[in-house]
Structure 1
Amino acid sequence: VLARSGRVIARDAGVASEARVLSADLRRRTGLRLAVLVDAAVPARAGDVVLELGDPDRGLGHEGYRLSVGAWVRIRARAAAGAFYGTRTVLQLLARGRSIAAGEARDRPRYPERGLMLDNGRRYFSPGWIRRRIREMAYVKLNQLHLHFSDNQGFRVESERHPEVVTRPFLTKAQVRGIVALARRHHIRVIGEIDMPGHLTAALRRHPELQLAAPDGVRAPDKLDVTDPAARRFARDLILEYLPLFGGRYWHAGADEYLSEAGYDAYPQLRAWARRRYGPRANGADAYLGFIDWIDRLVRRRGRTLRVWNDGLSGGSAVRLRRHVVVDWWGDHSGPSPRALVARGHRVLNAGWWPTYYVVGPLGSVRPSVKATYEDWRVNAFGGLALNLALPPNRPVVLPARSRRVLGSELHVWNDVPDAETDRATARGIAPRLRVLAQRTWGSPDLAATYAGFVRVERAVGLGRDVD
């Protein structure tokens, strides 16, 4: 039983931040103000919560933990992330009162990536709205926030190198640093994305000279001319400006929807450039793939791993991405299949339209069924396009259940029509989907066989509250 005399004790300085976050969450959710102690030796007493590192169980990995409940609560882990997730379980168990049944638990996630992608390029989300999503994610043990902050309709993060590309309203760098810091305290990595070489209308509005041009001189406003050295300098400026802002291990280059395989014929300079660089077998798609490889080398030299979407990765004959590039697979209409990507050595994130897309606009008037997602979907099942369909039209591609090349999944919020839904409606719409995604990506045994039963579990652990 937690009491006002209870304390949150960090046995190691490595979990002091986790202890402070738990104390603040307990105050917010229960009204209790538990003092935080960082002390390796102070005896625990009734009502305390004790966080410890050094559990010898290697099977817990980086994010697993052991929970023991008696007169006090003890959380043991091998790393701070595991201790943090133990505190999330404690909060859920306290959702209906100040006592927890005595017992023991061992818990660890199945997938290392469990997240949310926000299209905040097309649509501005305020820092406060994003911060609330971070806390919501952390409560259900999600660990990845992907910010797609540039697209045709907007470029929404302050730039000092190229202020002319920024669209109002936008996030300042100070606001992004605050978001990244809050996420880090909640063991959520933030991945920034500048989508290129396509989806660049907003960024190229003041730079028509960098747009891809057809032989008749007509320029494609959303497409960067990857053969132009000035265009590459522009791309390099932006990438190197934002790498330190977001930090972490990844950089996302987008790389989707540049040209179809047949569309390269409209721009013969791409084929000519590729043949000069890669030899007579090269084609137009190799110019695009070479650009992605160039970004890969750029970020790799700075300690980052590149991520891209899957749909443009077919069609080349001379260039293939190196296997360390992570591919977010979203559709079966174009590009290599999940099975083909894994066979090439890539790690893949399940970003399949069905059931991970939440589209604001005409293509989202019918969204993937939350009920079917809970009852029928697993993370190793990659469902393709499901435009305005509750269920996938094609059978998902199923990879081996224990494949280590399947990293996990995210919920993807795409704002095709930015003002078609209020921010509050979006928060309410994605909340139940995030909870199902959390259950599927964590991978613990289901406590309910049906979605209706899962909703009752949600309410029991404090997830029935309104969100905004």
Structure 2
Amino acid sequence: LISSCSFSNESPLQMVRDVTIDDKPVYPYRGVLLDTARNYFSIDSIKETIEAMSSVKLNTFHWHITDSQSFPFVSKRRPELTKYGAYSPSKIYTEEMIRDVVEFARVRGVRVLPEFDAPAHVGEGWQETDLTVCFKAEPWASYCVEPPCGQLNPTKEELYDVLQDIYTDMADVFPSDLFHMGGDEVSERCWNSSRQVQQFMEENRWGLDKASYLQLWNYFQNKAQDRVYKAFGKRIPLILWTSTLTDYSHVDKFLNKDDYIIQVWTTGEDPQISGLLQKGYRLIMSNYDALYFDCGFGAWVGTGNNWCSPYIGWQKVYENSPKQMARDHQDQILGGEAALWSEQSDSATLDSRLWPRAAALAERLWAEPATSWREAERRMLNVRERLVRKGIKAESLEPEWCYQNDGYCYA
């Protein structure tokens, strides 16, 4: 409560009378995703983000710690992945560093949720394992959504031993009650480029069409799921991104609704949302049209704007209501999460990308207000000032004149 108050600098003494507070969040999952694989983020910048999250009552730091561009997570059991996959020997996350972050977050009421994205979004670090296909394939746009391409080869039995080692190393340092398995943007063309994969499909009397590759994907997912359970020593709840595997028309053939939580990254109007809810799946909302904070900047491959432009202002973040998306399935929406994919971000730009927009998400998920962003504007200006006082380089929202002359700046 005290951290949410605004104080005048003119008076050194502030008195708070006795109060009674009856307050609790509408949604249990209130998160921020940070991708530290495409660009490296320092431990200090991660801690600053968690500190800011705690101040606005966001409670889940989703750590997307590996991707096709780099493998900075130091695996004790598979150190060669970091040796070949990190950008440099100094751009890594060791067990000691991760434990430090986890404890820092814990005492501030924030859990750290690890994600190991597979079977796609792998590449650097895996080149010496012979367990991937289409790594650095060209032209890259034919095999993946961004360079470098790379996917795990599900037909290799030794792959699952490596995965279990990675999962076990993560279980050792991330005492989370959830685990994120990624599972998005899998390319059947990538798998189909491998003669070994084709032979495996033929031996199983599967075709080489999209429907058959869903069977291969499901084959991988089942085996990987089993290895996660072994690594954590229990049937921990699992999270997957929306994908062709989670399409509501067939998701129940592949994924048990009691085992999996689906994180929605498509638009807030995607019919997949209602379809998945009707089939009983629990959802976390990260619809890109309101909650992807990397949107609205120049393209990093080619010219023009990036794929999800335009820029998303705090007002749209605030108006993004999970309740309206859920309709008759309120209890199945666990919450929401802002995502910062880091193709064009690093420690130097982190604060202004996240803040104060993530604070708008925090109020939405805590209170699910019935009022519009206009009613929250003064609070947003206040929280931005509070974040700046904490050392967060939050983006400015309006001229200071508007802050000093409440009610005059409107459209």
Change (3 A) 1:367 1:336: same
Taking the aligned partners of 1:452 and 1:317, their CA distance within structure 2 comes to: 40
CA displacement 1:63-117 (0-9 Å, x = unmatched)? xxxxxxxxxxxxxxxxxxxxxxxxxx13323755632244322100000000110
Query: Are residues 1:308 and 2:232 paired?
Result: no
CA displacement 1:244-285 (0-9 Å, x = unmatched)? 21121111111111115x776555765764676698997121
Given candidates 338, 345, 366, the residue that maps to 1:442 is 366
Highest Rg: 1 or 2? 1
CA displacement 1:200-252 (0-9 Å, x = unmatched)? 11132222x212269x9x99751111111122222222122212211211111
Given candidates 329, 334, 344, the residue that maps to 2:264 is 329
Taking the aligned partners of 1:93 and 1:366, their CA distance within structure 2 comes to: 33
**TM-score computed with the length of structure 2 as normaliser:** 0.76
The code of the aligned residue for 1:298 comes to R
Taking the aligned partners of 2:117 and 2:224, their CA distance within structure 1 comes to: 12
Change (3 A) 1:251 1:361: farther
Match of 2:133 in 1: 212
Q: After superposition, where does 1:294-373 map in structure 2 within 5 Å? A: 294-301=223-230, 302-303=233-234, 304-314=236-246, 319-323=253-257, 324-331=259-266, 337-359=272-294, 362=299, 363=306, 366-373=310-317
Given candidates 49, 52, 58, the residue that maps to 1:133 is 49
Deviation at 1:339, TM superposition (A): 1.8
Match of 2:115 in 1: 193
Deviation at 1:188, TM superposition (A): 1.0
Match of 2:401 in 1: none
Taking the aligned partners of 2:286 and 2:228, their CA distance within structure 1 comes to: 23
Taking the aligned partners of 2:165 and 2:98, their CA distance within structure 1 comes to: 18
Q: What secondary structure is seen at the aligned counterpart in 1 of 2:20?
A: strand
Deviation at 1:404, TM superposition (A): 1.1
Deviation at 1:287, TM superposition (A): 0.9
The code of the aligned residue for 2:132 comes to Q
CA contact (8 A) 2:313 2:357 kept: no
CA contact (8 A) 2:29 2:59 kept: yes
Taking the aligned partners of 1:307 and 1:369, their CA distance within structure 2 comes to: 27
Match of 2:222 in 1: 293
Taking the aligned partners of 1:124 and 1:401, their CA distance within structure 2 comes to: 41
Change (3 A) 1:241 1:275: farther
Taking the aligned partners of 2:329 and 2:14, their CA distance within structure 1 comes to: 38
Change (3 A) 1:361 1:179: farther
Match of 1:244 in 2: 172
Taking the aligned partners of 1:150 and 1:130, their CA distance within structure 2 comes to: 15
Deviation at 1:120, TM superposition (A): 0.4
Q: What secondary structure is seen at the aligned counterpart in 1 of 2:124?
A: helix
Q: What secondary structure is seen at the aligned counterpart in 2 of 1:114?
A: strand
Question: Any stretches of 5+ residues in structure 2 without a counterpart?
Answer: 144-148, 300-305, 394-411
Deviation at 1:448, TM superposition (A): 7.4
Change (3 A) 1:108 1:370: same
Change (3 A) 1:270 1:317: farther
Q: After superposition, where does 1:67-78 map in structure 2 within 5 Å? A: none
Change (3 A) 1:433 1:300: same
Match of 2:154 in 1: 226
CA contact (8 A) 1:270 1:283 kept: no
CA contact (8 A) 1:149 1:194 kept: yes
Q: CA RMSD in A?
A: 3.3
Given candidates 76, 80, 83, the residue that maps to 1:160 is 76
CA contact (8 A) 1:296 1:325 kept: no
Deviation at 1:456, TM superposition (A): 3.7
Change (3 A) 1:117 1:314: closer
| Total equivalences in the alignment | 354
The code of the aligned residue for 1:211 comes to T
Deviation at 1:326, TM superposition (A): 1.0
CA contact (8 A) 2:266 2:288 kept: yes
CA displacement 1:342-377 (0-9 Å, x = unmatched)? 233221100110111011762266421222322x32
Match of 1:92 in 2: 4
Deviation at 1:332, TM superposition (A): 5.1
Match of 2:402 in 1: none
Q: What secondary structure is seen at the aligned counterpart in 1 of 2:276?
A: helix
Taking the aligned partners of 1:372 and 1:332, their CA distance within structure 2 comes to: 13
CA contact (8 A) 1:147 1:190 kept: yes
CA contact (8 A) 2:355 2:384 kept: no
The code of the aligned residue for 2:255 comes to L
Taking the aligned partners of 1:332 and 1:104, their CA distance within structure 2 comes to: 40
Q: What secondary structure is seen at the aligned counterpart in 1 of 2:161?
A: helix
Change (3 A) 1:95 1:318: closer
Query: Are residues 1:377 and 2:320 paired?
Result: yes
Taking the aligned partners of 1:368 and 1:243, their CA distance within structure 2 comes to: 35
Q: What secondary structure is seen at the aligned counterpart in 1 of 2:184?
A: coil
Taking the aligned partners of 1:403 and 1:275, their CA distance within structure 2 comes to: 44
Query: Are residues 1:423 and 2:347 paired?
Result: yes
Q: What secondary structure is seen at the aligned counterpart in 1 of 2:262?
A: strand
Deviation at 1:299, TM superposition (A): 2.2
Taking the aligned partners of 1:170 and 1:319, their CA distance within structure 2 comes to: 39
Change (3 A) 1:402 1:92: farther
Deviation at 1:154, TM superposition (A): 0.9
Deviation at 1:130, TM superposition (A): 0.7
Question: Any stretches of 5+ residues in structure 1 without a counterpart?
Answer: 1-88, 382-397
